[in-house]
């Protein structure tokens, strides 16, 4: 998919790295050797539930067969045999009542399925890959084999989309997790609405939900428009507002959640929605964290023509186009800023709830300037930007996010 590019006169905080194309875009071997191999050995994002021994033979197969297209079925199918083997081993451990071992094996299988469905899936059928959709369904199935049996289990809940309009569908699938210990303040839990990103979905947040549970907070995990199971119309810039209205209305009707202590945390592409909901649903929220957020400049040609060669593991353009309901990348780059920018649409001008902006100064996916822009509009914001850090400010970001969330929840 080609893009007509123009020379950019704009200088970014990213500096000369803005013009650079990262080496992992040279093929699957380069991706493994320069970007994913080391995180896999340490079981850190996006491999936090996986093991190196699971992934190494899969990537050896991909490399030896010269399978370089992450959007293609051959890439996805390469992960299935190992994932299926781990699932069977998990079933055997569960049958032997070794639930700890079973959970580990199931999560390892789920992690394989997660990487296999990169870079993008959506339930809107006109742009779905049947093979990647199979991986997504398998990931959810094996993840819930583990997560539904934990002492503080994960439950899948189908929320009626009572505010739906137009092409929105009628059901919002979410994951809900409650702490083991008794609820606070009359039997209700403080709660975090965790908003996922372009490729990290509901089953990819075990560590974060563990952190919430340890603090006595419930969590509701939901996907963003145009990704995974989200029913919101990806081409309608107002569909997320309807989506969150339905989710918050449902939460308020459960009698489980302390609706005076509702916090949002949006991850990567979800950061855009965290910024948006902080303004559109200000009165319903205690606070919001927008991590790695796009707001305005991201959607412009100046930025997008180079972002395709930065941190994202594969080409970014096709996934972003499909996620926003465009047929081609060129259509997305030509039209998205006017339609989705929070500046162009006036969202930034509105008052917001307390809003923490987190990112790395060398984010090559969503420019840190998009977070800084928010300080020029609306109510005062808070921020922590990490020098020399990439997208989302990892690995340092959580050291600022959790203390801030604790302070806001306690206020």
- DSSP letters, 310-343, are SSSSS-HHHHHHHHTT-SSHHHHHHHHHHHH-TT
Output the CA–CA distances (angstroms, integers) from residue 366 to 7, 13, 70, 268, 392, in the order listed. 19, 12, 21, 8, 9
Buried b (16+ CB within 10 A) or exposed e, 378-387: beebebbbbe
**Pairing of β 287-291 and β 154-160:** unpaired
CA–CA dist 234, 228 (Å, integer): 11
Environment class of 58 (CB within 10 Å of its CB; exposed 0-12, middle 13-18, buried 19+) = buried
CA–CA dist 334, 332 (Å, integer): 5
Helix (H, G, I), strand (E, B) or coil at 194: strand
CA–CA dist 340, 296 (Å, integer): 8
The label of the residue with tokens 């040609």 reads 301
* pLDDT for 113: 98
Establish whether 296 is a catalytic residue: no
* pLDDT for 127: 55
367: which 2 tokens? 């420019």
What fold characterizes domain 152-411? Rossmann fold (3.40.50)
The structural architecture, per CATH, of the domain 24-149 is: Up-down Bundle (1.20)
CA–CA dist 305, 36 (Å, integer): 24
Partner residues linked to 159 by β-bridges? 172
**At what angle are helices 80-95 and 99-116 packed, to 10 degrees?**
160
Q: What is the DSSP string of 358-383?
A: EEETT-SSS-HHHHHGGGGSSS--EE
142: which 2 tokens? 């094996």
Mean pLDDT in order along the chain per 10 residues (411 residues): 40 91 96 96 91 97 97 96 98 97 98 95 72 96 97 97 97 96 70 97 96 96 97 97 98 96 97 98 98 96 92 93 92 95 96 97 96 96 95 90 97 90
Q: Which of 204, 352, 391, 400 is catalytic?
A: 391
Domain boundaries, the chain: 24-149, 152-411
Establish whether 281 is a catalytic residue: no
Output the CA–CA distances (angstroms, integers) from residue 389 to 37, 115, 170, 234, in the order listed. 19, 23, 40, 30
Establish whether 371 is a catalytic residue: no
298: which 2 tokens? 């991201």
Kindly list the strands in the beta sheet with 382-386, ordered across the sheet, starting from the edge strand earlier in the chain.
Answer: 154-160, 171-177, 218-222, 189-195, 257-267, 287-291, 355-360, 382-386
Q: Which of 363, 370, 371, 400 is catalytic?
A: 363
pLDDT tens digits along 106-162: 999 999 999 999 998 887 655 568 999 999 999 999 999 999 999 999 999 999 999
Output the CA–CA distances (angstroms, integers) from residue 187 to 179, 184, 411, in the order listed. 12, 5, 19
Q: Which of 239, 268, 284, 352 is catalytic?
A: 268
CA–CA dist 152, 209 (Å, integer): 10
CA–CA dist 247, 243 (Å, integer): 6
* pLDDT for 122: 84
């Amino acid at each position: 998919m080609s893009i007509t590019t123009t020379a950019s006169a704009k200088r970014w905080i990213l500096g000369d790295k803005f013009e650079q194309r990262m080496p992992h875009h040279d093929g699957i071997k380069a991706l493994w050797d320069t970007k994913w191999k080391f995180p896999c050995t340490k079981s850190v994002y996006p491999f936090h539930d996986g093991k190196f021994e699971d992934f190494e033979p899969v990537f050896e197969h991909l490399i030896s067969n010269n399978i370089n297209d992450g959007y293609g079925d051959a890439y996805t199918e390469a992960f299935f045999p190992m994932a299926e083997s781990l699932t069977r081993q998990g079933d055997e451990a569960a049958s032997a009542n070794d639930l700890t071992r079973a959970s580990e094996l199931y999560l390892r299988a789920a992690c394989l399925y997660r990487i296999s469905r990169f870079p993008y899936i959506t339930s809107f059928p006109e742009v779905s890959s049947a093979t990647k959709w199979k991986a997504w369904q398998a990931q959810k199935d094996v993840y819930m084999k583990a997560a539904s049996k934990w002492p503080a289990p994960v439950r899948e809940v189908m929320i009626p989309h009572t505010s739906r309009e137009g092409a929105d569908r009628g059901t919002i699938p979410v994951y809900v997790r409650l702490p083991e210990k008794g609820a606070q303040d009359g039997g209700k839990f403080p709660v975090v609405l965790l908003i996922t990103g372009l490729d990290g979905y509901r089953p990819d947040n075990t560590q974060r939900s563990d952190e919430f549970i340890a603090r006595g907070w419930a969590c509701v995990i939901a996907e963003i428009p145009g990704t995974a199971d989200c029913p919101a119309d990806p081409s309608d810039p107002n569909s997320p507002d309807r989506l969150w209205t339905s989710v918050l209305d449902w939460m308020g009707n459960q009698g489980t959640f302390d609706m005076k202590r509702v916090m949002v945390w949006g991850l990567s592409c979800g950061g855009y929605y965290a910024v948006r909901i902080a303004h559109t649903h200000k009165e319903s929220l205690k606070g919001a964290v927008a991590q790695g957020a796009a707001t305005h400049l991201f959607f412009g040609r100046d930025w997008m023509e180079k972002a395709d060669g930065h941190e994202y593991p594969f080409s970014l353009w096709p996934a972003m186009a499909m996620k926003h309901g465009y047929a081609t990348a060129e259509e997305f780059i030509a039209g998205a800023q006017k339609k989705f920018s929070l500046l162009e649409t006036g969202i930034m001008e509105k008052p917001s709830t307390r809003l923490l902006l987190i990112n790395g100064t060398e984010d090559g996916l969503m420019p840190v300037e998009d977070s800084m822009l928010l300080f020029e509009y609306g109510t005062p914001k808070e921020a922590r930007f990490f020098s020399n850090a990439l997208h989302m400010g990892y690995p340092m970001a959580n050291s600022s996010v959790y203390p801030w969330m604790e302070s806001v929840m306690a206020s």
